[in-house]
Chain A
Amino acid sequence: MINIFNNPELLLWAVPLMPLFGFLINGLFGKRMSVASSGGIAAAAVVISFLCALGLFVYHMNMLGKETVQSSAFTWMQVGGFKINFGLYLDRLSSVYMLIITGIGALIHIYSIGYMGHDEGFARYFAYLNLFVFAMLMLVLGDSLVTLFLGWEGVGLCSYLLIGFWYKHLPNTTAGMKAFIANRVGDFGFMVGMFLLFWHFGSLSYAGDASLQSGMQAAIASGTVDTTLLNWACICLFIGACGKSAQIPLFVWLPDAMAGPTPVSALIHAATMVTAGIYMVARMNFVFVHAETAMTIVAITGGATALFAGSIGLVQRDIKKVLAYSTVSQLGFMFMAAGLGQFHLAVFHVFTHAFFKALLFLGSGSVIHALEHSLGHGNPDSQDMWKMGGLKEKLPITCYTMFIGALALAGIPGLAGFFSKDAILYSAFHRGDTLGWIIYGLGVAAAICTAFYSARLIGLTFYGKWRGDEHAYAHADEAPRSMAMPLMILALGAIGVGYLLLPPAFGVHHPPFQTWLAPIWAAGQAALPEGSKLLIPVEHDSAAIAAEWVNIAISSVIAFGVFLFAFTIYSRPANLAKVRALAFRGEGTDAVMTPWYKVLLNKYYIDEIYDFTIVRPTKIVSDVLFVVVDVIVIDLLFVNGTAMVVKASSDLARRLQTGLVRHYLYAFATGAVILIALFLLIAQ
């Protein structure tokens, strides 16, 4: 045991392999196991994986000061000069991700034992969940873009499997397919980006000697940095990130992905998988800093997505849909930060967001779980916030932990979300050019939305009067301990983790999180010219600190004000009627939705627009192709034509098959004699 602990490479391999073993055990023997053993094995696998990750992080990286841990297993593929190693690579960036994935993953596994205990497919569920953790760890621990892509596709697969987990219900499988297809579009961009990078640098690895970094260094040294090509490569990579991290225009799959079990939404569609795009951009930061156009696109897309999804989230009735749009919006914030060059802030927001969003999702899962008892599984009423209210009395732990999560999400000072979001807004504020102000405007507007919908969620769900089925309210019970414990741990995280990166205005010039990640950006920062807007600020003069105080004041006022405002509206039954008046004209059944409400409720008609501009034309083209190419060319000419030719010729050939042994013998002997004769002739 001690030896394993002392050997960082073994420890590193144990991190992804433990969940893989869990997957194999659950996948192969799960049907014969009880809930306790199946879930126990799955959770134990991830917990052990987390402990290994912790051992690596605390002992090897912090106490022994190892910068990187690498281990190459075998040469995966080699074609000419193209060589891909299958290996693991742990550095400071991936260590953060590794800890998030295994830590939050472990909590969610434990939570799932309580949540999925009554489901008949629990073994399948835990197998998928473990496979997901494995794939996600391969994504962040792989030592090249190709290994990353392996994990990238693996998490996509698991996401698809888990969205359509309750496959007997058609919309769930459709949602799974939607996620898969939207991701495929992104993956295509990602692959093109990889090809471009390989074409330019001749490598896809970011560890070892012939790496992308050294290729970049050489290009800088010889002054042959091809900015145009790098811009295209980065844009392509970002398209991939858009698919995985649900940015405009590929975000449509994430809200639908809520069809999966709620812990899955927490783990995959909030805390880990959707942040893979951020990871990839952060990992490639040394390339992205040379692609200014691409960075601008990243920032604008992020800002637009943040506001766009945030505004949709204002009116959603489904508790999970609100959280889904909120996730899209928060991912937009992360890309904003990345696009402004502040990669450490993007990763920090990933880090804090993982806590409070997982907390919110698990809390909503607890609510749904409580209501499903009497409403029945899959009943949409169990997720409709308009049919909840006053659940505080029934679900106190869930209520208070979710309240903390919502405050953190809203950006109330002192909680995790405040520090990360405020820092991002400040970096836009501080920039001082047009792009900075645009991003700042988008960000502030999105932050207002965020504060509003998080207060609305809490107010509608836990306060006011119960508006749904009385029976369901009476039978709503607080979550079991296995579900409550993760909620509390995550709530602690949602309060505390923000203090790892305090703003300079608080007198902290070297916050631990930033210091920890600094080596990752070092190469990229060094390549940037003096005074570049993309530089991560190191020194803070008094003017900058004053500006930061202004920004903090604005953010706090917005967060407090909007949160209080929305909370007052939604937690008091009397005010709800007034809100209704904003949304509907008229009373009762004659009520007509006001246009702006309608637009938001229908998510800006994005699905319809996609249906009209992409899906319909595709269908028309495929119909034409079906009639012309499929029916006539392929079916008639190729398939049936081939069949007819084969039939005609076989009608002739089958006469050779007389069924008489001696005829076959004659044929055989003739052939043998001819061969021997030929051999003799050739041998001369």
Chain B
Amino acid sequence: MLEPKVVLFLAAVLFSAGLYGVLSRRHLIMLLMSLELMLNAVNIALVTFSRYWAGEGVGMIGAHSGQFFTLMVMAVAAAEVGIGLAIIVAVYRRKHTADSDAASELKG
């Protein structure tokens, strides 16, 4: 079972599920959570490739770059959640709700 294609498939499933969550939710916090799940799925794919290339003789830095980028994704995700949650708080103050449909000022 522990083979690259299976792990990648797991990542694909998590990613698609995250997308479903993002699309189906109207609560902004839930939306953000689903987004985190998608990022996590990407991380899994990255680590998978990192492990795969370790056996191909690409040197230490080459083999670990997947893991390094996982860390980067985590950092970016943390920043994103920070900003996202702050925006949600701001929206909530103004609209008294965290419903994404409430913020529709950009309506054409």
Contact = CB atoms under 8 A, between A and B. Distances in A.
A664 to B, nearest CB: 9
Contacts of A654: 108
Chain A contact surface mostly: helix
A666 B25 CA distance: 11
B72 to A, nearest CB: 21
Most buried by B among A653, A654, A661, A662: A661
Nearest to B19: A669
B23 A666 contact: yes
A665 B23 contact: yes
Contact of A662 (B19, B23, B105, B106): B23
Interface in A644-684: 653-662, 665-666, 669
Assign chain B's interface to a size class.
10 to 19
A666 B104 CA distance: 15
A657 B31 CA distance: 20
A189 B101 CA distance: 66
A665 B22 contact: yes
A662 B101 CA distance: 8
B100 A660 contact: yes
Contacts of A656: 108
Contacts of B75: none
Interface string B74-103: 000000000000000000000000001101
B5 interface: no
B88 to A, nearest CB: 12
A106 B67 CA distance: 71
Nearest to A658: B107
A657 B104 CA distance: 9
Contacts of B25: 662
Most buried by A among B26, B104, B108: B108
B21 to A, nearest CB: 11
B23 A657 contact: no
A683 to B, nearest CB: 16
Contact of A657 (B22, B26, B100, B107): B107
A88 B24 CA distance: 71
Contacts of A661: 31, 100-101, 103
A657 B108 contact: yes
Contacts of A659: 103-108
Contacts of A665: 22-23
Nearest to B20: A669
Interface in A602-658: 653-658
B39 to A, nearest CB: 15
Nearest to A664: B106
A107 B75 CA distance: 68
A659 B103 CA distance: 7
Nearest to A655: B108
Given A669-B19, A669-B23, A662 B100 contact: yes
Contacts of A666: 23
Interface in B12-36: 19, 22-23, 25-26, 31
Nearest to A650: B108
Contacts of B107: 657-660
Contacts of B103: 659, 661
A35 to B, nearest CB: 56
Nearest to A673: B19
A661 B22 CA distance: 10
Contacts of B106: 657, 659
Contacts of B104: 658-660
A662 B26 contact: yes
A669 to B, nearest CB: 6
Contacts of A655: 108
B77 to A, nearest CB: 18
Nearest to A657: B108
A37 B108 CA distance: 58
Contacts of B19: 669
A666 B101 CA distance: 14
A679 to B, nearest CB: 15
B80 to A, nearest CB: 15
B104 to A, nearest CB: 3
Contacts of A660: 100-101, 104, 107
B69 to A, nearest CB: 20
Contacts of B108: 653-659
B25 to A, nearest CB: 8
B100 to A, nearest CB: 4
A491 B103 CA distance: 82
Contacts of A662: 23, 25-26, 100-101
A430 B67 CA distance: 95
A109 to B, nearest CB: 59
A102 B23 CA distance: 75
B99 to A, nearest CB: 10
Nearest to A656: B108
Interface string A369-385: 00000000000000000
Contacts of B22: 665, 669
A624 B86 CA distance: 62
B66 to A, nearest CB: 21
A473 to B, nearest CB: 76
A241 to B, nearest CB: 60
6 contacts: A658-B108, A659-B103, A660-B100, A661-B31, A661-B101, A662-B26
Given A656-B108, A660-B107, 15 more contacts: A653-B108, A654-B108, A655-B108, A657-B106, A657-B107, A659-B104, A659-B106, A659-B108, A661-B103, A662-B23, A662-B25, A662-B101, A666-B23, A669-B19, A669-B23
Interface of A: 653-662, 665-666, 669
Closest 6 CB pairs of A and B: A657-B108, A659-B107, A659-B104, A654-B108, A661-B100, A659-B106
